[in-house]
Amino acid sequence: MSRFAIAALVMTLALSAAAAPPHVQNGDTPRDGTQTVTLQQLWQRGQEDDDLIFGAVNAVLAGPDGNTWVMDQQLSQVFVFDADGQLLRTVSREGEGPGETRRPESMVFFPDGSLGLAQYLNGRIVRIAPDGTPMATIIPPGSLGEGNALANIRRVRCRGGNLVINGVLNTPQDDGGMLRTQYLLRADADGHPLNDYVRRSTSTNLARDGWIEKNNYFPSHELWDIDADGNVIAATERNACLITVYAPDGTVLRTFGRDLQGARRSEERKQEIRDSVTVIADGQRIRVDVTVEDNDPVVVELHAVPGGETWVLTSRGRQERDGGAMATWDVYDREGVYVRRAAVVCPGDPMQDKLYFLDGGRAALVRGAVQARRNTFGGRQGDVVPPEAVHDLIMYRF
């Protein structure tokens, strides 16, 4: 190799190294040890002696008005509660008309204070004023102008001036299968895409190959969030504790994490996952073969909280419930340093209930959230729901 070629190679390697984003590799022990966070109850709604009955709560937000907004997927409406848990009003309802949705999947507040209700099937974002007055509907990427592709929306967030949409495009293929393109992207106020953060396409044929878990991982639902600066934080790998931080324009700012494997699954747990995979065609449930992994994903949730911290719930942390903890979270600072473990103490089962982190130092526990969602979509194979099943909401202060 000539001196010129060697010099060019060295320069290329140097440029590649310079272009690589910084990575913070943490050890197993957090810098500041373990902190016990005992939640203090503020109010509760939907309990047995309450006159309010929830169908399937699947989103809770602190509104810009200081109220708590609770979206019910089964009832296709939003409950608005004041600081004491008193019901002020409900907005939206089930239907196809202005301001109406069917099985809304996600909820988001826009900078002007309006509310967006993201519908999973026939994906769209129904926008309404705080009093429920209908506004213009936002059509997300893929709903129009993509041939015969069907768009689904999983989650929408808006923070730091950044509107991010997480969804799926399902495009029929000639072999009877489907090309599933999962995306996490930045959009403008009208839902038009500006840039991708993550995009993955997978060809699937459920009738021929069944549903294969490892081929379907994507940082969707609660596996991503937006921090106060508008940066997107996502758990980009299934089998690694690797968190990627993107600037609003999609540039990777840094990555961080630690060496960790997902929790080992029991045979009972694997069968539970097989039973939970529901495929509906022409209104009928179709049984398909389901291939599941021996381990849970390493990261199962993450949240960007005020002050720049990222709270990461791992599948192992979900099992660590000593001292009355519902689960134990890994907490990383703004630079990605593993600073502490937070054992969050409140009644609840992380496999059945859902804890929502809200702005303003509050958290909402939705008990029975997992089963209520299954019921909305027809339940699991062989599900028998006990009549005394609990589905209520408890508001806490950190």
Q: Per the domain annotation, does 74 fall within a domain? A: yes
The confidence score (pLDDT) of residue 16 equals 47
Angstrom CA distances, 352 to 45, 206, 260, stand at 18, 28, 24
The confidence score (pLDDT) of residue 211 equals 87
Q: What's the whole-number mean pLDDT along residues 22-38?
A: 96
Question: Identity (one letter) of the amino acid at 98?
Answer: P
- Distance (Å, rounded) from C-alpha 371 to C-alpha 385? 8
- Distance (Å, rounded) from C-alpha 379 to C-alpha 364? 24
Residue 368 corresponds to which tokens in the numbers above?
A: 């029975």
pTM: 0.89
Q: Which of 200, 208, 199, 146 is nearest to 176 (CA)?
A: 208
Local structure of residue 6 (DSSP, 8 states)? H
Q: Which residue has the tokens 């991708």?
A: 196
Q: What's the whole-number mean pLDDT along residues 36-50?
A: 96
Average pLDDT in the chain: 88
Between residues 170 and 395, the one the model is more confident about: 395
- Distance (Å, rounded) from C-alpha 325 to C-alpha 345? 4
Q: What's the whole-number mean pLDDT along residues 142-157?
A: 68
- Distance (Å, rounded) from C-alpha 46 to C-alpha 364? 13
SS (H, E, C) 262-301: CCECCHHHHHHHHHHCCEEECCEEECCCEECCCECCCEEE
- Total structural domains within the chain: 1
Q: What's the whole-number mean pLDDT along residues 236-249?
A: 97
Q: What's the whole-number mean pLDDT along residues 256-260?
A: 97
- Distance (Å, rounded) from C-alpha 183 to C-alpha 160? 20
The confidence score (pLDDT) of residue 103 equals 92
SS (H, E, C) 149-177: CEEEEEEEEEECCEEEEEEEEEEECCCCC
Question: Which structural domain, as residue segments, surrounds residue 37?
Answer: 22-397
Q: Per the domain annotation, does 2 fall within a domain? A: no
Q: Which of 38, 126, 41 is nearest to 76 (CA)?
A: 126
Q: Which residue has the tokens 């966070």?
A: 37
Q: Per the domain annotation, does 318 fall within a domain? A: yes
Residue 44 corresponds to which tokens in the numbers above?
A: 């509760």
Q: Per the domain annotation, does 341 fall within a domain? A: yes
Residue 94 corresponds to which tokens in the numbers above?
A: 């089930």
Q: Per the domain annotation, does 176 fall within a domain? A: yes
Q: Per the domain annotation, does 5 fall within a domain? A: no
- Residues whose CB falls within 8 Å of the CB of residue 235, separated by 6 or more in sequence, listed in order: 219, 223, 224, 241, 242, 243, 297, 298, 299, 302, 312
Residue 38 corresponds to which tokens in the numbers above?
A: 């005992």
- Distance (Å, rounded) from C-alpha 332 to C-alpha 23? 13
Q: What's the whole-number mean pLDDT along residues 212-222?
A: 93
Q: Which segment, 22-31, 145-154, 171-180, 202-211, is predicted with the most confidence on average? A: 22-31
The confidence score (pLDDT) of residue 388 equals 57
pLDDT digits (tens, 9 = 90+) for 75-124: 999 999 999 999 999 999 999 899 999 999 999 999 999 999 999 888 88
- Assign 165 a pLDDT band (cuts: 50, 70, 90): very high
Between residues 142 and 262, the one the model is more confident about: 262
> 145 pLDDT exceeds 50?
no
Residue 326 near residue 344 (C-beta atoms within 8 A): yes
Question: Identity (one letter) of the amino acid at 360?
Answer: G
The confidence score (pLDDT) of residue 13 equals 47
Q: Per the domain annotation, does 4 fall within a domain? A: no
What CATH number is associated with residue 360? 2.120.10.30
Q: Which segment of 97-101, 139-143, 177-181, 330-334 scores lowest on mean pLDDT?
A: 139-143
> 4 pLDDT exceeds 60?
no
The confidence score (pLDDT) of residue 283 equals 56
Max Cα distance, the chain (Å): 84
- Distance (Å, rounded) from C-alpha 134 to C-alpha 130? 10
Q: Per the domain annotation, does 385 fall within a domain? A: yes
